[in-house]
Structure formats: C-alpha cells, structure tokens
C-alpha cells in the first residue's frame, strides 16, 4: 500500500502533519521500545525510517520536507552539543585531535580504494569509494554522548574536535576526487577553499567565544521581545551555519562552533530551549537515514559480499586509524575515540549520491556505500555504550556515594 495515496482528497494540506506524525511518532515509539530493551534509543529512531520506507511498509519516501527537517535537526543537535563544550578545553586537545582526524582520513581512504580496486572496478570508482569512507557523521556520536551525559569526558572532546577537522579534510578529499572524475584539477581553487575553510574553523574556535562574550550581553540588554536571548542565539546559529557553507565546510560545523562560542555566555534557559528544539527535530535526521535504505537491491550474492567487506573496512579503518592517533591518551580512551569516529551516516550517503550523479560510480557501488553508511551508523550507538560502560558505571557510583 502506498500510504501517500491516502492524501488524494487534499494532498498538500495533509502532507505536512501526516508525514510529521508518522515519522516523529514511529521514531519515538521505537526509541522507547529500544530503551526498554536497554539499547540506545537512536537505533530505534533510525529503524523507524527503515520500517516506514520502501524496504518494509513503503508509506513514506524521502522528500524535500523531510530532508529540510533532518538538516535542521542535525544543526540544532550540533548547536546544543557546542553549548556544552568550552573552547579553551577543546583547543587544548587540538593537537591530538588533528592527529586523530588525519589518521582517520588516510586509512579509510586507502582501504576503500584498495578493496574496490581488488574487486575489479575502475580507478575512479575505487577512489570515490575511498572518499565516501573518509568523513565522520558526528551527529550520531554527539547524540549518544549527549544523551548519556558524557560530553565532558576527555575522549568525547577529542571526538568532537577531530570530527570538525575531519569534516574539513573530508571536504578537500571529496573536492579533489570530484575534480579527478571530471578530468581536471583546479589547484588554485582547491588551495583557496582549503585555506578559507581552515581559517574559518580556527578563528571561530579561538576567538568566537571572546567576541560573543562582549557582543551578546549588550545586544540582549537592548532587546524587549520574549525569549530574546534564545532568539539571538538562534540567529547566531544560522548566521555561522551560512558562513560555514560559504567558506566551504558543512553547516553543522558552523552550528557547533556557534554553540561553542556561546557556551560561556548564555544562560541555562537558552540551553533548555535548544534541547527542546533538538528533541523535536533530531528524529527526522535519524529516521531520514533509515528512509534511504533499500534492502531489495541486495539480490546479488557478490554485491552482498562486497557491501560486507566495505562495511568491515569502514569500521576497522576508523577504529585503527583514529584509535592509534589517540593512543597517547591510553588504550581505553583510544578505543572510545576510534568507536566515536565510526559512523558515516548522511555524510557518506551525500558523497555517494554525488558520485552517482556524476556517473563516477555504478548503482551497485552506490548501494554498497549507502549500506555501509547506514550500518556504521547503526553499529555506533551500541559500540559507544560498550566503550563508555566503565565511565558510566563510575558516574553512577559517584552519584550514589554523594547521594
């Protein structure tokens, strides 16, 4: 049954409330089920998209409305995470985070390229698959860490800082690969993009908080509208998101940097309201990942094997690359950092979509990469729960002792 056929009477009037009802309601219901089973709730929210999508019920298809809500969701998520992170603490870990990010870009790229080359596909396809395995979907990891109250942990801060650097490096890798697929590389353009993107991140991380401390209280004092401080914070969120895209990095990086800049300036009320907006919008981001899954394409045994091999490489390359980069922190934190960098989520799917549109990769390779992106996203929450189990246990014992 095509559930959207139900909209025949007045499709435009009913589309928004019905899609929101189905996606949000199903996501929260399955999140509750998974939490009762002592599993991460976000796994249930991702599976809600699988259930509603073409693989099971075929009631909902990805459309512009859901994509917009998903993008808003992940922006508010990273903004809320940024509000919990002090810039000084993140900058102090910048050297380790840079090593983690660089290793987490190099090893996945090489492994992806090697596997697809060995499978007999062309070099352009192999290079493109390597590029899709590079970037981390920090939204998934951030949601798990925030939900468990683990953002203050040293390894969590390394993950967040490395993910921001990873995004910049991943963008540059994808730009080079796309240029290669088109048959020409504009070195000057790529260099300018790299310099501007890196400068934007460094400037905002180093001086954004100081600027906000001087400007935000003065502007807020002159405002009379209700919830003026929150309104000002949201304007700042979208302004930095726009600026981030303009400089060549993802909007979510700008959202994270906006939150971090305001972390020591805004009050608890702003953080509470940001949390509420996140709870409303993030289910669309998570369910949207599941909606892109099409299990019917796995009719070919050879494609299943290829997809599983790419998945294994995607997990191991981040665990080894990022874990080794964080090894000076100790094996426990190195494992946590490696696990935190595993999910590819929508980042991997966007890169795969670009390759498909350009004709650089085949439908089979596209399917295998989308499977990898979704599977690493589903694997990350339980792996993070395992990795942080001792930390969470210590937190609970401390609360019990103080209580």
Q: Per residue in 307-351, pLDDT tens? A: 999 999 999 999 999 999 999 989 999 999 999 999 887 667 777
Highest-scoring range by mean pLDDT, 84-93, 131-140, 393-402: 131-140
Q: What pLDDT, on a 0 to 100 scale, did the predictor assign at position 374?
A: 81
Count CA within 13 A, CB hemisphere, residue 15: 12
Reduced to 3 states (helix: H, G, I; strand: E, B; else coil), residue 364 is: helix
* pLDDT of 114 higher than 80: yes
CA atoms of 249 and 168, how far apart (whole Å): 6
Those residues whose C-beta lies under 8 Å from the C-beta of residue 321, and which sit 6 or more positions away, are 103, 104, 105, 106, 107, 108, 338
Structural domains in the chain, sorted by start: 68-390 (1.20.1530.20)
Buried b (16+ CB within 10 A) or exposed e, 266-277: beeebbebbeeb
Q: Per residue in 240-250, pLDDT tens? A: 999 988 887 77
* pLDDT of 278 higher than 60: yes
* pLDDT of 276 higher than 80: yes
pLDDT band of 4, cuts 50, 70, 90: low
Of 149-153, 155-159, 189-193, 264-268, the one with minimum mean pLDDT is: 189-193
pLDDT band of 11, cuts 50, 70, 90: low
* pLDDT of 202 higher than 70: yes
pLDDT band of 394, cuts 50, 70, 90: low
For range 112-129, the mean pLDDT: 90
DSSP string, 68-120: HHHHHHHHHHHHHHHHT--HHHHHHTHHHHHHHHHHHHHHHHHHHHHHHHHTT
Q: What pLDDT, on a 0 to 100 scale, did the predictor assign at position 392?
A: 66
pLDDT band of 213, cuts 50, 70, 90: confident
For range 55-70, the mean pLDDT: 89
Q: Can you list the pairs that 354-361 forms with residues at least 24 positions away whose Cβ atoms lie under 8 Å?
A: 354/174, 354/178, 355/125, 355/128, 355/131, 355/132, 355/181, 358/178, 358/181, 358/182, 360/124, 360/125, 360/128, 360/178, 360/181, 361/124, 361/125, 361/128, 361/129
CA atoms of 216 and 225, how far apart (whole Å): 15
Q: What pLDDT, on a 0 to 100 scale, did the predictor assign at position 231?
A: 93
Torsions phi, psi of 53, nearest 5?
Answer: -85, -165
Question: What is the sign of the dihedral through the CA atoms of 100, 106, 112 and 115?
Answer: negative
């Amino acid at each position: 049954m095509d559930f959207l056929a139900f909209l025949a009477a007045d499709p435009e009037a009913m589309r928004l409330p019905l899609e929101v009802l189905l996606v949000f309601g199903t996501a929260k219901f399955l999140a509750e089920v998974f939490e009762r089973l002592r599993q991460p709730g976000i796994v249930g929210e991702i599976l809600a998209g699988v259930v509603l999508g073409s693989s099971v019920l075929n009631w909902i298809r990805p459309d512009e409305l859901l994509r917009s809500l998903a993008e808003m969701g992940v922006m508010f998520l990273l903004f809320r995470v940024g509000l919990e992170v002090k810039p000084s603490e993140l900058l102090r870990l910048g050297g380790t985070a840079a090593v983690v990010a660089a290793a987490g870009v190099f090893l996945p790229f090489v492994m992806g390229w090697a596997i697809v080359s060995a499978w007999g596909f062309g070099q352009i396809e192999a290079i493109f698959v390597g590029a899709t395995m590079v970037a981390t979907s920090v939204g998934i990891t951030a949601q798990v860490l925030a939900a468990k109250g683990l953002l203050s942990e040293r390894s969590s801060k390394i993950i967040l800082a490395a993910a921001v650097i990873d995004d910049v490096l991943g963008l540059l890798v994808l730009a080079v690969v796309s240029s290669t697929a088109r048959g020409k590389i504009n070195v000057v353009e790529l260099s300018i993009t790299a310099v501007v993107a890196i400068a934007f991140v460094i400037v905002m991380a180093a001086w954004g908080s100081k600027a906000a401390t001087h400007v935000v209280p003065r502007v807020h004092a002159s405002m009379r509208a209700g919830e003026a401080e929150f309104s000002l914070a949201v304007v700042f969120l979208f302004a930095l998101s726009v600026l981030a895209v303009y400089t060549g990095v993802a909007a979510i990086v700008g959202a994270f940097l906006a939150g971090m800049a305001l972390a020591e300036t805004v009050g608890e009320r702003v953080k509470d309201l940001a949390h509420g907006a996140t709870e409303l919008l993030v289910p669309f981001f998570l369910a949207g990942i599941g909606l892109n899954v099409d299990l019917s394409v796995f009719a070919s045994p050879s494609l299943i094997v290829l997809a599983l091999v790419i998945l294994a490489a995607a997990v191991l390359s981040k665990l080894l690359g990022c874990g080794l980069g964080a090894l000076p922190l100790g094996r426990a934190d190195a494992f946590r950092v490696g696990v935190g960098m595993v999910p590819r989520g929508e980042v991997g799917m966007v890169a795969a979509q670009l390759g498909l549109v350009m004709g650089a990769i085949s439908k089979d390779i596209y399917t295998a990469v989308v499977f990898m992106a979704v599977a690493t996203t589903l694997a990350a929450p339980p792996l993070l729960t395992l990795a942080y189990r001792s930390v969470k246990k210590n937190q609970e014992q401390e609360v019990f002792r103080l209580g």
